[in-house]
Each structure stands twice: as C-alpha cells, then as structure tokens.
C-alpha cells in the first residue's frame, strides 16, 4: 500500500443480510477501516450512489432480499461512477467463483468467516491494487482531452514497436498563437477548442493503427500508419472548429510530419523532428503542413555547431587570415600593388570549413562582427611586420560588414588599430558592400563620410551585384570600385556580362576612380579587361589566397 496513505482509514461497505455475519465482518475490519453496512442490495445501491467517491471497497453477499448481490454487481459495473470501486463477493458456493469473476468481481471470500487474517489481507491487496490503478490511469490520460499523456504516449509507442514493422509517421500538430485565444476569449473557450480537436483526432484514428497525445498546452502528437491524409484532417478540424466556436477568430493549425520514421532513432527524436518541421511554419501563412527533411536538419545542427564554436576558435586562432594579392596591369609586366584579407577556418574536429558555409551564417546572426575584428587585428599586425621587415608597406583591404556600420565605436576601433601598429590610412583599406546601404543608407553615408574625413580609403565591393549600387554612387564618395566577379567569369561567354563589365569601366572613368576586377582566372579575361582600361586584377590567374608566410615570399621577390 502507498506509504503516504497507509495511515488513512478507508471506508468499506459491507452488504450482508444476516446480522451475525455483519457483526463478524465489522469486528474483523473495524481496526483498520471505517465500516458501513447495508442489509440488502437496494440499500447498498442507495449508499453507493450517495457516497461513491468515499468508498474504497465493497464486500458483497450474493443471496439477499429486495435485490441480489448479482444485481448489485451488474449495476456497479454499468455505472461510470461506481465501476472503479473494487468488489469482493462473499459466497458459500465454490462453483460460482468463475462466473462471479467474469461478472466483474475482483475477488471472493468463502463463508463462513473463520479466517480473519485472510479476509484482511485480501481487502488490503484489492484496495492497494485499485489505488495504484487509479494513479496510473490519472497519469496515463490527459484529463482535459482524453488523449494519452505525454509520458504514457511514448511508453505505448515502444510497446507498439515490438509487434509492428509498418511504416509509421510521427506528427506534431500545433495551434498558432493559441495563448491569444485564452487571453481574449477565456480559458474555458480555449479548453473547448482543445477538446474538440482531440475528439476529431481520436475519431480519425479509430479505424487505423495509431495513437495520439496532448504533448503540451496546445500541441498534439500523433503516431500513425503512413496512411492519413493530413491536409484533409486539418481541413476537417478547422471546419468543425469554425462551426462551433466564436466569430471573428481565425484558428490556424501547423502540422509537422516526420514521414516513415527512422527506427534507428528513439521515438522522442521522431517527434522532435516533427516539431522542428511544425515550427518552421510559424508565421508562414502560405503553408499548413511541413515535412521533416533530414538533410535540412543536419545542416541546421551543423550551423548550430559553428555558432557554438566561433568564440573558442577565435581564441585558439583556428581562424587564419589569408592574403590574396592584387596586381596592377597597366604596364608591360604585372605589378603587386596590394592584397585583400580573407578569413579561413581550420576547425580542430571538422577540418577546413568553406567560407561559403560560415560567413553567410554569421552575417545573418551578427556574429560576423567578431570575425571582422579578428581579421582587422591580424591584418594590421601583419602589415606592420612586413613594413618592419622589408621597409615598405603593402596595403591590405579588410571587410566592413553591415553590422559593423551600426557599431558606434567603429571609427575609434579602426583608428586605435592604426595607432597600435604604427600604420596609416593608406595601408589599411576598407571594403563595404551594398547590403549595408540597403539596410541603412543614412547610417552608412554618415559612417563613410566620417571615415573618409579621417583619411581612410573606401572600396565598394561586388559593384553591380544589386539594385542599390548606382544609388550608393550618388550619395557616398568612394575611392575604388570592385567589379562583381560574376561578370568577369561570364564575360567571354555572355554578351550581357561583357556589356556590364564595360559599363562598370565607363562609370569608373566618370568618377575618376580605379577598378579592381575580381575572379580573373584566364589570360583571355586579363587581356580583355586590360583592353577596357581596367587597372587592377585579383584572381586565381595570378594567385589564390595565401597564408601570410607564402604571401611574404611574393614580397621578398
């Protein structure tokens, strides 16, 4: 028996028409129980219907006047309020034992009552079993909806898996902004919607091999054979809700489906994946159903790993700055003019990570600012080392991302680097892209003007790649145009790209600023650009980005 309830006196109803038997049972039970008596079946039913929630056990004689024990047993098992009360039948007829148990009795005691310890033991055991069953039942079922509770839902799945190898779906169904329904219309109305949805889910599963639970306040999980038409189910639920709920309230369901679950994963993972797909639909009113994509999930986990590791990799210098040389091509021989600082990531466990993987990711979440500051520091330090070693400075361009533009200390940071390493504004060059202009033109104009007033040279990176490029030129003074490499790569095969290259050159002549052509990989591209009047080339034709020691070899030559 539950230790916390051990000292609580349970109430036992003794239904016995013979006074001497009632007294005997009363004497046996009264030490541990509160005993109530009924001398016939009808009186027992009256007591039960009045006090069913206080009675822990019925001891029931079969042969009685007015109403027999068998009739009482039948009434109890057919009544929802009485069916959970355990019944021990008292009889002299040993042949009746099987039929009594089949009729719904939980145990029997033979007359006469000459074994008090056996009677007490049986009463205690039956009460204990029923109390444990009630606890299990209360934990098994979500009381509001009648669906399984979250914990038992997963236990039942594990049992189902032992006996079936059918293709199964894990489904997460969520109500968009359900908390607003509770706040505006009240919790009772919200509960009514939840119960309505649950009843429709149960109806849909009644003819199939599947179960469901309410996993959270407004989230339902369904585990079902891969047969349901989820779009149709959602439409049926919404139509039903609209018919019975308040006006001017739009209920929207989001459904995430992990189709044909992977048996190598745990059931909890199946539904984590379904919930991920469901959450993808948050705020997207063009779709109602999303399917879990393992490749997309793996990519998400990969990105989360990169985000988690950025600080450690900066501290450990797993990030390295490479330098891609820029060559002047106006003379007969190409001449090394400057370099662009580019970051590379040699992760201690993942190996070399493509900049195309981590730079867009960090640009989206703002972490690129940490990389930029790392690159600025490393580039400034390297320029100073080469300056001391060779007696001349090699200008290096560093990127200023759009997130940097909103840093109120940007100007002081850059000037602090120049002062720290003894550099000039002609040696640390700044590249900006039009995305910064698109985000906040007014702020970018202010920042660029302040930087140029301090002597910094501003290069416009990827010129021509978007709609804002020409607008930038009318409002922001720049010192160098960097031609988008997509134009350069296609210029020999695509007339449109060639014309755009020529247009960039015309604009540069109008502004009287030099052009850097990125992405040059072939001599034919070099020759064509030189004929157009392009002054500076950057690309694999001359050199890929190099670590500092290899770039230094170019300087030594």
Tokens 């594990």 belong to 158
pLDDT of 539? 93
Higher pLDDT, 226 or 287: 287
* Mean per-residue pLDDT over the chain, rounded: 86
Residues of the chain with CATH 3.20.20.450: 306-552
At 221-240, the pLDDT tens digits run: 999 887 667 778 778 877 77
Lowest mean pLDDT among 3-12, 270-279, 504-513: 3-12
- The answer to whether the beta carbons of residues 53 and 83 sit under 8 Å apart is no
**Two tokens at 354?**
């493509």
Q: What percent of the chain has pLDDT over 90?
A: 39
- Assess whether pLDDT exceeds 90 at residue 328: yes
Domain spanning 150-292, CATH architecture: 2-Layer Sandwich (3.30)
Confidence band, pLDDT 50/70/90 cuts, at residue 528: very high
DSSP 393: -
Residue 3 pLDDT: 40
Residue-wise pLDDT for 2-59, tens only, equals 343 455 678 899 998 889 888 888 898 888 888 999 999 999 999 999 888 888 899 9
Predicted confidence at residue 163, as pLDDT, reads 67
| Least confident window among 18-22, 101-105, 379-383 | 101-105
User: 74: how many CB neighbours lie within 10 A of its CB?
Assistant: 13
- Flag whether pLDDT at 186 surpasses 90: no
Residue 1 pLDDT exceeds 50: no
| Predicted pLDDT of residue 208 | 74
Residue 197 CB burial class (10 angstroms; 0-12, 13-18, ≥19): buried
36 phi, psi to nearest 5 deg: -120, 140
**488-510 core/surface letters (b: 16 or more CB in 10 A; e: else):** bbbbeeeeebbebbeebbebbee
Portion of the chain with pLDDT greater than 70, in percent: 92
Q: Using CA atoms, how far apart are residues 421 and 377, in angstroms rounded to an integer? A: 9
Q: Is the pLDDT of residue 207 over 50?
A: yes
pLDDT tens-digit readout, 407-452 = 999 999 999 999 999 999 999 999 998 666 666 778 888 999 999 9
Most confident of 45-49, 111-115, 130-134, 427-431: 427-431
Q: Is the pLDDT of residue 259 over 60?
A: yes
All residues at 6 or more sequence positions from 476 whose CB lies less than 8 Å from its CB, including other chains: 437, 444, 445, 448, 449, 458, 460
**Per CATH, which fold does 306-552 belong to?**
TIM Barrel (3.20.20)
542-547 long-range contacts, CB within 8 A, separation 24+: 542/325, 542/327, 542/334, 543/324, 543/325, 544/324, 545/322, 545/323, 545/324, 545/340, 545/342, 545/344, 546/322, 546/323, 546/324, 546/325, 547/320, 547/322, 547/323
CATH superfamily of 3-140: Response regulator (3.40.50.2300)
What CA–CA distances, in Å, run from 384 to 234, 240, 388, 393, 555?
65, 73, 6, 8, 14
Confidence band for 468, pLDDT divided at 50, 70 and 90: low
Domain with CATH 3.30.70.270 in the chain: 150-292
Cβ contacts of 509 within 8 Å, gap of 6 or more: 533
Give the tens place of pLDDT for each residue, 352-376: 999 999 998 998 888 999 999 999 9
State if pTM tops 0.95. no
Cα(21)–Cα(112) distance, integer angstroms: 8
In the structure encoding, which two tokens stand for residue 548, read together?
A: 């500092």
pLDDT of residue 250: 66
User: How many distinct helices (H) and strands (E) make up the chain?
Assistant: 22, 20
Q: Are 2 and 26 in contact (CB under 8 A)?
A: no
Q: Which residues, listed in sequence order, are joined to residue 520 by a DSSP beta bridge? A: none
DSSP output for 482-546? EE-HHHHHHTTT-HHHHHHHHHHHHHHHHHT--EEEE---SHHHHHHHHHHT--EEESTTT---E
Give pLDDT, residue 13: 92
pLDDT at 467: 54
SS3 45: helix
Determine the pLDDT at residue 4.
39
Residue 35's nearest CA partner among 66, 67, 1, 12 is 12
Q: How far is it, in rounded angstroms, from Cα 391 to Cα 35?
A: 106
185-198: average pLDDT: 85
The mean per-residue pLDDT over the stretch 316-341 comes to 94
| Residue whose token pair is 């099987």 | 98
């Amino acid at each position: 028996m539950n230790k916390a309830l051990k000292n609580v006196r349970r109430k036992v109803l003794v239904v016995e028409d013979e006074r001497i038997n009632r007294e005997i049972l009363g004497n046996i039970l009264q030490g541990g129980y509160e005993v109530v008596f009924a001398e016939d079946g009808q009186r027992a039913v009256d007591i039960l219907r009045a006090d069913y929630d206080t009675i822990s056990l019925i001891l029931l004689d079969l042969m009685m006047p007015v109403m027999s024990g068998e009739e009482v047993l039948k009434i109890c098992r057919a009544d929802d309020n009485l069916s959970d009360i355990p019944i021990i039948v008292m009889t002299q007829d040993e042949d009746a034992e099987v039929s009594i148990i089949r009729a719904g009795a939980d145990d029997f005691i033979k007359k006469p009552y000459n074994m008090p310890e056996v009677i007490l033991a049986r009463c205690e055991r039956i009460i204990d079993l029923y109390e444990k069953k009630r606890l299990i039942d209360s934990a098994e079922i979500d009381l509001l909806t009648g669906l399984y509770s979250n914990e038992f839902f997963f236990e039942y799945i594990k049992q189902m898996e032992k006996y079936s190898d059918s293709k199964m779906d894990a489904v997460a169904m969520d109500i968009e902004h359900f908390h607003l329904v509770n706040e505006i219309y009240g919790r009772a109305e919200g509960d009514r919607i939840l119960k309505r949805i649950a009843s429709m889910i149960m109806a849909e599963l009644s003819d199939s091999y599947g179960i469901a639970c309410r996993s959270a306040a407004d989230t339902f999980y369904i585990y079902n054979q891969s047969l349901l038409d989820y779009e149709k189910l959602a439409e049926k639920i919404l139509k039903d809700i609209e018919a019975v709920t308040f006006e001017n309230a739009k209920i929207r369901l989001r459904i995430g489906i992990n189709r044909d679950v992977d048996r190598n994963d745990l059931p909890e993972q199946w539904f984590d994946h379904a919930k991920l797909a469901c959450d993808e639909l948050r705020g997207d009113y063009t779709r109602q159903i999303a399917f879990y994509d393992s490749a997309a999930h793996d990519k998400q986990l990969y990105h989360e790993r990169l985000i988690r590791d950025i600080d450690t990799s900066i501290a450990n210098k797993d990030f390295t700055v490479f330098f891609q040389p820029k060559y002047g091509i106006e003379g007969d021989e190409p001449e090394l003019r400057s370099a662009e600082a580019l970051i590379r990531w040699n992760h201690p466990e993942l190996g070399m990570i493509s900049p195309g993987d981590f730079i867009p990711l960090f640009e989206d979440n703002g972490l690129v600012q940490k990389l930029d500051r790392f690159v600025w520091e490393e580039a400034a330090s390297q320029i100073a080392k080469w300056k001391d070693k060779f007696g001349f400075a090699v200008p290096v361009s560093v990127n200023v991302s759009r997130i940097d533009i909103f840093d109120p200390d940007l100007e002081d940071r850059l000037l602090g680097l120049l002062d720290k390493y003894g550099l000039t504004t002609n040696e640390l060059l700044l590249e900006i892209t039009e995305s910064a202009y698109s985000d906040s033109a007014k702020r970018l104009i202010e920042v660029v003007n302040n930087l140029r007033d301090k002597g910094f040279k501003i290069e416009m990176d990827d010129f021509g790649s978007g709609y804002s490029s020409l607008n930038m030129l009318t409002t922001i003074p720049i010192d160098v145009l960097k031609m988008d490499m997509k134009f350069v790569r296609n210029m020999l095969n695509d007339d449109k790209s060639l014309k755009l290259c020529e247009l960039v050159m015309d604009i540069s002549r109008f502004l009287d600023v030099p052009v850097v052509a990125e992405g040059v990989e072939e001599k034919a591209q070099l020759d064509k650009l030189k004929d157009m009047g392009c002054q500076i080339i950057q690309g694999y034709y001359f050199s890929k980005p190099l670590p500092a020691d290899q770039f230094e070899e170019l300087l030594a030559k």
